[in-house]
Amino acid sequence: MSIAINAISKRFGDFVALDNLQLDIASGELLALLGPSGCGKTTLLRIIAGLETPDQGQILFHGEDATDTHVRERQVGFVFQHYALFRHMTVFENVAFGLRVRPKKTRPSETEIKRKVHELLSLVQLDWLADRYPAQLSGGQRQRIALARALAVEPKVLLLDEPFGALDTKVRKELRRWLRRLHDEMHITSVFVTHDQEEALEVADRVVVMNKGKIEQIGTPEQVYDAPATPFVYQFLGDVNLFHSRVHDGWAEVGAARFAAEAGDSDKAVVYVRPHEIELSRVATDKAIAGVISHSRLLGATVRLEVDVKDAEVVEVELTRERYQEGGWQVGEPVWLNPREARVYPAA
Amino acid sequence: MSAELIVGPDTLQLRGRLDAGGAAAIWAQARSAVTAGCVVDASGVDYCDGAGSALLFDLIQRGARVDGLPERYAALLADLNPDKPLTVQSPKPHGIADELADFGKAVTSEFTLTMAFIGVFTADIARIFTARGKIRWRNGFAVASSAGADALPIIALVAFLFGVILSFQSAVPMRQFGAELFVADLVGLSLVRELAPLMTAILLAGRTGAAFAAELGTMKVNEEINALVTLGLDPFRFLVIPRLLAVALIMPMLTVCAEVIGLAGMALVMASFDVPLATSLHRATAIVGFSDFFGGLGKSMVFGFFIAAIGCLRGLRTGAGAAAVGESTTRAVVSSIVMLVVVDGLFAVMFYILGW
């Protein structure tokens, strides 16, 4: 089912949570709402679910206005960050709950419920836990049960609020892949909220980057990463170095390096360079920035160097371990920085 | 590298790091060399923090002009502008009018929310009587057993104590008039009309009302209530109504138990004053009329209903976080007891007017 969000606004007192948002979600797609905490992504998700009402605007489900439809009639499955499993029920009862509480006319028979629950539990690979209570499960298992519970009522839309936010990195990575596979099997329109850019880029078909109640960019993971529309998107999707500069004749100058800029002459500009897109060299070239290595830190497969540069804060450079060893870089050594890629945005 | 000061005619040249150490080292020299209208060339400064800005500010105060300070440090110096207040002015202290306005707003919002709760509740009750089968009796029975049967020992204990204390304390002075027989009248009437319903209600407010607030509050905090809603359930009908009905039904039963046990305690004390068991019980049952007994039971039903309603309301309106659960539990008990006093007063007035 497709969802259209039409000029939605929401305030909490003086705080503007959502500011005139416009978003179309295609049928069967897996969409990520990405942004820092407080950017309004969860509020948007809850408005789609019907747990909050917007101050203004409309929500269309499959082209029909659903703004005033009650949550109970929207047929959404919602997965909460902290699982929200019913503690006094077994795993089986939790998943069966949504079916058991249906009115008699639409309620499936007991054998049908049993079959369906076991089918869902094997889908989330936890059939063997049916008789346990939520308190006896690990975080990752609980979240998978929560997902099974949400899917039991055959929702038209699946909404996930930071589903992996409370899990450790390793489990999170596993569940990410698993969610992607599940979505490829079921093709149910899904929206999930996250503040983890890696998660959004890895799992989603499309990513919506939000900040301060507004949408900064909508696009496929490649689009938002390779062609960030705003400095915010660039900064949010990974580490970044900033250089402040002024524009002369269409070029922003940082030390001896020059970057093509669209800003007008003598406007202030900010040059963004990602740490892994900087080459180090011992030879001065005409387009390089001079600096001194002040720190080096080993991060598993990569090495992060901090380079002190005049007129800038510390610049971070990321090298693979082999490159670092080949180069034989030392702390205290003067180097030249050669950005391979850079983006220039007018300074705010 | 530390700071360096080169003194020239009408110019001071600063170089190096203007941090706490650097600025301190050259401060005295710079101060003595500075003259009104002289130019401080700071283009050679490659680091400047608060201490450095303080030095530059001091020189400016003495009439110097700072030139060529790198842009990123200029902002720091600009913050030291004497015309610009450094501290944000604290908001004006609240006057009594503001306090009153806040209080009024709080009362109004509380009132509207409570009214909305009562409205939804009434509508749902009406629906139960028109369309049957919607109410979850199974949940109701579970609540009734934990709020009723499990509360019996403590209620029995307190009721027995009430009966014993009340009869003993009144028997001692009344004996001086040879009127100890009338203790049965006194204890019987006050237990049945007032004390048994009220005591049971207070115990239930502390036990069950608080439990409801904590239970629903935890569900709210864990988003279980939202999960119920997304699964297509009305939390009001599913969680609140069974609790309300269960407690409203269980309260009169508990009250009857409390009355019987209280009277037993009274009979025990009377026996120690040489009044036979049969006599004291006969006096007590003779003085308590039909209206006293059922008036007390009706009252206890209303009490139970309000205790459950307040507990559920507080639970459903719990804010975020575990601390909020504790807060709503406390508020549930306090408002239940205040409610008991008010409702009991209203009943007293009503019974007086009706002549019961």
Domain stop point among A235, A267, A289: A235
Amino acid in position B229: V
* B189 closest CA partner among B253, B259, B131, B240: B259
Of A82-91, B31-40, B86-95, B155-164, the range with the highest mean pLDDT is B155-164
Is the confidence at residue B301, as pLDDT, over 90? yes
One domain, residues A163 and A34: yes
Chain B environment of A97 (Cβ under 8 Å): 231
Q: How far apart are CA B323 and CA B329, in angstroms?
A: 10
- What residues of chain A, 179 to 238, have a C-beta less than 8 Å from chain B? none
User: How far is it between the farthest Cα atoms of chain B?
Assistant: 119
pLDDT band at residue A241 using 50, 70 and 90 as cut-offs:
confident
Residue A76 touches partner B, C-beta closer than 8 Å: yes
A306 and A229 part of one domain? no
CB-CB contact of A163 with A139 (8 Å): no
Percentage of residues in chain A having pLDDT higher than 90: 32
pLDDT greater than 80 at residue B127: no
- What is residue B190's predicted lDDT score, i.e. its pLDDT? 93
Pick from B71, B226, B233: CB nearest A101: B233
- Which amino acid, A77? G
Among candidates B46, B230, B238 on the partner chain, residue whose Cβ is nearest the Cβ of A49: B230
Confidence at B109, pLDDT banded by 50, 70, 90: confident
Q: Cα angle vertex B42, ends B37, B46, to 5°?
A: 165
Predicted confidence band of residue B65 (pLDDT cuts 50, 70, 90):
confident
List the single best residue of A51, A72, A191, A314 to mutate versus B (max B Cβ within 10 A): A72
Q: Are A266 and A209 in the same domain? A: no
Task: Give the per-residue pLDDT at B295.
Answer: 92
Distance from the Cα of B314 to chain A's closest Cα (Å) equals: 20
Nearest C-alpha in A relative to B220? A84
Same domain for B50 and B154, yes or no, is no
Give the gyration radius of chain B's Cα atoms: 38
Last residue of a domain, one of A235, A268, A300: A235
Residue numbers in B near A98 (CB within 8 A): 231-232
Predicted model pTM: 0.73
Residue B275 and residue B178 in contact, taking contact as beta carbons nearer than 8 Å: no
In this structure, is residue B90 part of a structural domain? no
pLDDT at B129 over 90: no
**N residues, chain A:** 348
Domain count, chain A: 2
Claim to verify: residue A126 and residue A269 sit in the same structural domain = no
pLDDT tens, residue by residue, A100-146 = 888 888 888 999 999 999 999 988 888 889 999 999 998 889 988 99
Pairing type for strands A189-194 and A157-161 reads: parallel
Q: Do residues B177 and B288 both lie within one domain?
A: yes
Q: What residues of chain A lie within 8 A of the CB of B71, using their CB?
A: 244
Tell whether B74 and B146 lie within a shared domain: no
In chain A, pLDDT over 70 holds for what percent of residues?
98
Structural domain that includes position A37? 3-235
CATH number, domain containing residue A342: 2.40.50.100
CB-CB neighbors (< 8 A) of B70 in chain A: 311
Helix axes B196-204, B322-354, angle to 10 degrees: 170
* B44 domain-assigned: yes
Quick one: closest CA in A to B226, which residue?
A51
Say yes or no: A259 and A133 in one domain.
Answer: no
Q: What is the pLDDT of residues B208-227, one digit of tens each?
A: 999 999 999 999 998 899 89
Residue pair A342/A273 in contact (Cβ under 8 Å)? The answer is yes
CATH number reported for the structural domain that contains residue B17 in this entry? 3.30.750.24
From chain A, pick out residues whose CB is under 8 angstroms from the CB of B143. none
Residue B347 pLDDT: 93
Using a CB-CB distance cutoff of 8 angstroms, which residues of chain B are in contact with residue A154? none
Which of residues B258 and B111 earns the better pLDDT score?
B258
User: Please, which pLDDT band fits residue B86 given cuts at 50, 70 and 90?
Assistant: low
Please give the pLDDT value at position A24: 93
pLDDT above 90 for B57:
no
Q: Check whether residue A229 and residue A249 sit in a common domain.
A: no
B74 and B139 assigned to the same domain: no
- What pLDDT score does B37 carry? 78
- Tokens 């698993």 identify what position? A178
> What is the per-residue pLDDT for A209?
94
Above 90 in pLDDT, residue B300? yes
Our CA-based measurement puts residue B231 at a distance from the nearest CA of chain A, in whole angstroms, of 5
Q: What are the pLDDT digits (tens) for A179-215? A: 898 899 888 999 999 988 888 999 999 999 999 999 9
| Residues A61, A1: Cα–Cα separation, whole Å | 7
**Whether residues B163 and B65 fall in one domain:** no
B173 & B305 share domain: yes
- Quick: pLDDT tens for A147-167: 899 988 888 899 999 888 878
Compute the average pLDDT of residues B148-170: 94
- What's the pLDDT score for residue A218? 94
A139: contact with B, CB 8 A cutoff: no
Locate the chain A residue with the closest alpha carbon to B69: A311
B99: tokens are 């306090």
In Å, how far are B145, B217, B297 from B141, measured between CA atoms? Answer: 6, 21, 20
- Decide if A82 and B222 are in contact by the 8 Å CB cutoff: yes
**Rounded distance between C-alpha atoms, residue B130 and residue B268, angstroms:** 50
For the cut 60, the answer to whether the pLDDT of residue B133 exceeds it is no
Which residue bears the tokens 């509050």? B217
| Residue A243: closest C-alpha in chain B | B72
Query: Looking at the domain assignment, is residue B285 inside a domain?
Result: yes
* Mean pLDDT (chain B, rounded): 86
Provide the pLDDT for residue A263.
62
Q: Do B175 and B271 fall within a single domain?
A: yes
Is residue B339 in some structural domain? yes
Q: Which residue, among A249, A192, A215, has the nearest Cα to A32 in the 3D structure?
A: A192
Please write down the HEC assignment for all residues of chain B.
CCCEEEEECCEEEEEEEECHHHHHHHHHHHHHHCCCCCEEEEEEEEEECHHHHHHHHHHHHCCCEEECCCHHHHHHHHCCCCCCCCCCCCCCCCCHHHHHHHHHHHHHHHHHHHHHHHHHHHHHHHHHHHCCCCCCHHHHHHHHHHHCHHHHHHHHHHHHHHHHHHHHHHHHHHHCCCCHHHHHHHHHHHHHHHHHHHHHHHHHHHHHHHHHHHHHHHHHHCCHHHHHHHCCCCHHHHHHHHHHHHHHHHHHHHHHHHHHHHHHHHHHHHHHCCCCHHHHHHHHHHHCCHHHHHHHHHHHHHHHHHHHHHHHHHHHCCCCCHHHHHHHHHHHHHHHHHHHHHHHHHHHHHHHHHCC
Q: Write b or e for each residue in B43-72: b if 16 or more Cβ atoms lie within 10 A of its Cβ, otherwise e.
A: eebeebeebbbbbbbbbbeeebebeebeee
**Residue in the structure block whose two tokens are 């608060």:** B50
Q: Which two three-digit tokens encode residue A294?
A: 């002040």
Work out the average pLDDT over A248-252. Answer: 79
Chain A residue with Cα closest to B223 = A84
How many structural domains compose chain B?
2
Question: Are residues A57 and A180 located together in one domain of the fold?
Answer: yes
Residue ending a domain, among A235, A251, A279, is A235
- Classify A44 as helix, strand or coil: helix
- The arithmetic mean of pLDDT across residues B228-253, rounded, is 88
For residue B176, list its beta bridge partners: none
If we measure between CA atoms, which residue out of A138, A319, A314 comes closest to residue A242?
Answer: A314
User: Of B55, B78, B101, which one is at a domain's C-terminal end?
Assistant: B78
Question: In whole angstroms, what is the distance from residue A178 CA to residue A167 CA?
Answer: 14
Asked whether residue A62 falls in the same domain as residue A194, the answer is yes
Q: Is residue B121 part of a domain?
A: no
Under an 8 A CB cutoff, do A76 and B230 touch? yes
Contact, B220 vs B320, CB < 8 A?
no
Please give the pLDDT value at position A135: 92
Instruction: Determine what percent of chain A falls in helix, strand and coil, rounding each to the nearest 5.
Output: 30, 35, 35
pLDDT value of position A27: 92
CA-CA-CA-CA torsion sign (A109, A111, A117, A120):
negative
Tell me the chain A residues in contact with residue B224 when contact means C-beta distances shorter than 8 Å: 84-87
Please check whether residue B254 is in contact with residue B158, taking contact to mean a CB–CB distance below 8 angstroms: no
Contact criterion met (CB < 8 Å) for B232 and A244: no
Same domain, A7 and A106: yes
Q: Rounded distance, CA B283 to CA A1, Å?
A: 76
Identify whether residues B20 and B159 lie together within a single domain.
Answer: no
pLDDT at A168: 83
Q: What are the structure tokens assigned to B20, written together?
A: 């706490």
Interface check A71 vs B, CB under 8 A:
yes
Provide the edge-to-edge strand list for the sheet that holds A76-79: A76-79, A157-161, A189-194, A30-34, A206-211, A214-219
A32: enclosing H helix or E strand: strand A30-34
Domain of residue B71 covers 4-78
Any B CB within 8 A of A86 CB: yes
User: Are residues A183 and A266 located together in one domain of the fold?
Assistant: no
CA distances from A32 to A272, A325, B107 (A): 25, 39, 42
Kindly state whether residue B33 falls inside one of the protein's structural domains.
yes
Mutate to test the interface with B, among A43, A52, A69, A78 (most CBs of B within 10 A): A78
Interface test with A, best of B136, B146, B230 (most A CBs within 10 A): B230
Alpha-carbon distance B324 to A20, whole Å? 32
